[in-house]
Chain A
């Protein structure tokens, strides 16, 4: 029973990781790829760790630390990537792709432009 439950958790986790990879290919720009890359991988790897904890109950404490570590580092790295992309001037929407409706909006670019105009940077 434990082996079945553990394996099932690992399998579901792997599916989420697969979806994250698919998202990296399907999404149109850096920021949206980041969305797929951060979120699906978080739940995916955590489910795999929980599955391991069910399969190998003696290791639960170390796996718990790993989960904590992922919760702390995963968002940090994607934040750093998104932030540096924006500093490099990567636009929020790619031109020439028309798979979505609605104009893009970028409050951060506006705020940066305002600051530059005010000379406070």
Chain B
């Protein structure tokens, strides 16, 4: 059952990307895309096991949508922030690598969390080790792990936790 669901999710993703690529779409293209997506999803590769973590329930999809909005807003803020730092004559940076903790257990969730951290205010994920993420921070502003976690991770984690677990 889990395997079939993962294959269905993979088929849907592949089919969507195909539709976007071939827009404006013709009927024959839709058929070919659907068939090829089904065939690819049916091939037993080790990679698609990750798609088992994507469970299309309304509550999870809703959290995913909120996450996208939060994430895009953070991207805009971080870009402006870094742009100002580059332009400021005194180069106001206070760099360091801090340890933060994550509650996420799924691989997709952790991947998206690390990606989001890299794309948002002055932080880059450097390494992950168990529940610990090591993050390069351009303006280190935390006394301990909890404070850093609160400032860097929590905003995304809240929604990713619901979406992927």
Contacts and interface: CB of A to CB of B under 8 A. Distances in A.
Interface string B72-98: 000110110011011100111111111
Contacts of A78: 118, 124
Secondary structure of the B side of the interface?
mixed
B79 A40 contact: yes
Given A92-B95, A107-B97, A108-B134, A83 B127 contact: yes
Interface residues of B, number: 41
Contacts of B110: none
Contacts of B24: 58
Contact of A79 (B83, B91, B114): B114
Interface stretch (B15-23, B28-36, B38-46): B15-23
Interface of A: 16, 19-20, 22-23, 26-29, 31-32, 34-36, 38-40, 42-44, 58, 61-62, 64-65, 71-72, 74-76, 78-79, 82-83, 86, 92-93, 99-102, 104-109, 111
Question: Closest 7 A-B residue pairs measured CB to CB?
Answer: A75-B118, A43-B79, A108-B134, A23-B86, A107-B99, A61-B23, A105-B96
26 contacts: A19-B83, A19-B86, A23-B86, A26-B86, A31-B136, A32-B95, A35-B124, A35-B136, A61-B20, A65-B20, A71-B115, A75-B115, A75-B116, A79-B114, A79-B115, A83-B126, A100-B91, A100-B94, A100-B95, A101-B94, A104-B96, A105-B98, A105-B140, A106-B97, A107-B134, A111-B129
